């Protein structure tokens, strides 16, 4: 069981990114051993999402949205072709119309997440002013500026929790906390999600590849004294020390929907991409051939995208065997109405 009340990360407060210790904020230009920026997208105006196939993303459900919601990923805005909501869990899979994403993360299917270091990404709010008592910082306010920008940080999964009930959803989750940089065994770029980070990814590096381990869901909440559980008096802050006695550690906890519990559901639900469809429009035509021609004799095709699917075998290159496979599917699928 979690030891603190949590608030879902969907409140409509426009702002910038994940909360980090200023002394440990990474330089994303030099921090290269992290997931690609193109794995994380924006879900509408109030949440984040993660690419899991050439034309699909996953996100949480509690921030609402539906068929009319726009999704921006890798700098392109997509409309939604289809949504699959999990029956009971705070999780949805979404197909994007016309998407052919070059970067996507496989679901992490193993159940050994406890103790593993993770990279967290999202389009949530960033740091505001420091929270201080007697000149000692014990936390940070959440920024309320109008800018939203992708930010990454690190943390460590503490433990999994089964059947976490946050109505109307019951989800398996993984839990982490926001450690003090000067104690508590923090990670290099210790961070905590905030509002708008719902649906953002927690990534584990497995066999040299970044895989999706969880989707940010909720974070510990605080209230002004005497107004406990009154949302009008909720403090939009993240703490790593006790406010009344900053000499003592008091790391906020947060959680995320555990992907290993639902990896099979995601993989079984993912729609098939028609062979030869390299543009993501469910049709194999001249536009796909133009993409194929541009990739002809490429020799550096790698998982997960295999040269946008042109390397159909896949064996690392685009050659005559791939051309023959492409030709077999020429005009084999009707365009969508």
* Burial class of residue 205 (count of CB atoms within 10 Å of its CB; 0-12, 13-18, 19+): middle
Same domain, 312 and 166: no
Taking residues 13-35, report their average pLDDT: 79
Of the candidates 31, 29, 30, 49, which has an alpha carbon nearest to the alpha carbon of residue 39? 49
pTM above 0.85, yes or no: no
pLDDT tens string 45-103 = 889 999 999 899 999 999 999 999 999 999 999 999 899 999 999 999 999 988 889 89
Is pLDDT at 278 greater than 80 in this prediction?
Answer: no
Q: Mean pLDDT in the chain?
A: 86
Same domain, 151 and 283: no
Task: Tell me the C-alpha distance between 171 and 68, whole Å.
Answer: 26
Taking residues 273-293, report their average pLDDT: 70
Share of the chain above pLDDT 70, in %: 86
Same domain, 139 and 198: yes
Structure tokens at 241: 């020390």
Is pLDDT at 10 greater than 50 in this prediction?
Answer: no
Last residue of a domain, one of 258, 284, 299: 258
Same domain, 11 and 153: yes
Last residue of a domain, one of 209, 231, 258: 258
Task: Tell me the C-alpha distance between 202 and 262, whole Å.
Answer: 14
DSSP of 204-249 = EEETTEEEEEEEEEEEE-EE-TT-TT-GGGEE-EEESB-SS-TTSB
Which position has the higher pLDDT, 258 or 271?
Answer: 258
Q: What pLDDT score does 293 carry?
A: 82
* Burial class of residue 43 (count of CB atoms within 10 Å of its CB; 0-12, 13-18, 19+): buried
Same domain, 199 and 248: yes
Same domain, 238 and 303: no
Task: Judge whether 70 lies within some domain.
Answer: no
Task: Judge whether 46 lies within some domain.
Answer: no
Query: What is the CB neighbour count within 10 angstroms for residue 307?
Result: 24
Same domain, 213 and 316: no
Same domain, 211 and 299: no
Q: Which domain holds residue 242?
A: 6-27+111-258
Task: Tell me the C-alpha distance between 141 and 238, whole Å.
Answer: 7
Q: 310 pLDDT band (50/70/90 cuts)?
A: confident
The CATH number of the domain holding residue 320 is 1.10.1330
Cα dihedral 212, 143, 253, 5 sign:
negative
Same domain, 247 and 147: yes
Of the candidates 33, 179, 35, which has an alpha carbon nearest to the alpha carbon of residue 120? 35
Q: 275 pLDDT band (50/70/90 cuts)?
A: low
Share of the chain above pLDDT 90, in %: 59
Please tell me what DSSP assigns to residue 37.
G
Which position has the higher pLDDT, 31 or 329?
Answer: 31
Number of domains observed in the structure of the chain: 2
Same domain, 183 and 299: no
Q: What pLDDT score does 317 carry?
A: 85
Task: Tell me the C-alpha distance between 140 and 104, whole Å.
Answer: 32
Last residue of a domain, one of 258, 290, 314: 258
Is pLDDT at 13 greater than 70 in this prediction?
Answer: no
Is pLDDT at 134 greater than 50 in this prediction?
Answer: yes
pLDDT tens string 220-254 = 988 888 777 777 778 889 999 999 999 999 999 99
Label the pairing between strands 6-8 and 47-51. Answer: unpaired
Same domain, 305 and 238: no
Same domain, 211 and 318: no
Taking residues 260-273, report their average pLDDT: 93
Task: Judge whether 105 lies within some domain.
Answer: no
């Amino acid at each position: 069981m979690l030891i603190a009340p949590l608030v879902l990360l969907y409140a409509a407060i426009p702002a910038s990114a994940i909360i980090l210790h200023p002394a440990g904020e990474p330089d994303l230009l030099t921090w290269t051993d992290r997931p690609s920026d193109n794995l994380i997208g924006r879900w509408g105006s109030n949440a984040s999402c993660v690419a899991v196939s050439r034309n699909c993303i996953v996100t949480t459900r509690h921030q609402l949205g539906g068929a009319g919601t726009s999704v921006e990923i890798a700098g392109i805005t997509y409309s939604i072709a289809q949504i699959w909501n999990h029956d009971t869990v705070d999780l949805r899979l979404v197909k994007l119309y016309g998407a052919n994403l070059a970067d996507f993360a496989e679901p992490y299917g193993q159940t050994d997440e406890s103790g593993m270091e993770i990279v967290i990404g999202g389009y949530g709010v960033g740091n505001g002013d420091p929270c201080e008592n007697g000149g000692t910082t014990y936390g940070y306010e959440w920024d309320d500026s109008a800018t939203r920008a992708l930010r990454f940080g690190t943390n460590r999964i503490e433990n999994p929790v089964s059947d976490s009930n946050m109505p109307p959803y019951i989800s398996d989750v993984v839990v982490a906390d926001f450690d003090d940089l000067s104690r508590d065994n923090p990670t290099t770029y210790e961070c905590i999600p905030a509002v708008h980070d719902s649906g953002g990814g927690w990534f584990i590096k497995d066999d040299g590849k970044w895989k999706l381990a969880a989707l940010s869901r909720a974070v510990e909440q605080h209230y002004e004294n005497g107004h406990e559980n009154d949302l009008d008096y909720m403090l939009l802050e993240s703490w790593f020390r006790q406010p009344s006695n900053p000499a003592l550690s008091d790391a906020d906890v947060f959680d995320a929907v555990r992907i290993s519990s639902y990896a099979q559901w995601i993989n079984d639900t993912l729609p098939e991409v028609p062979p030869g469809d390299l543009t993501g429009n469910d049709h194999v035509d001249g536009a796909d051939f133009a993409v194929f021609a541009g990739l002809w004799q490429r020799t550096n095709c790698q998982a997960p995208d295999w040269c946008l699917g042109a390397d159909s075998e896949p064996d690392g290159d685009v050659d005559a065997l791939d051309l023959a496979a492409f030709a077999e599917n020429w005009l084999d699928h009707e365009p969508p109405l």
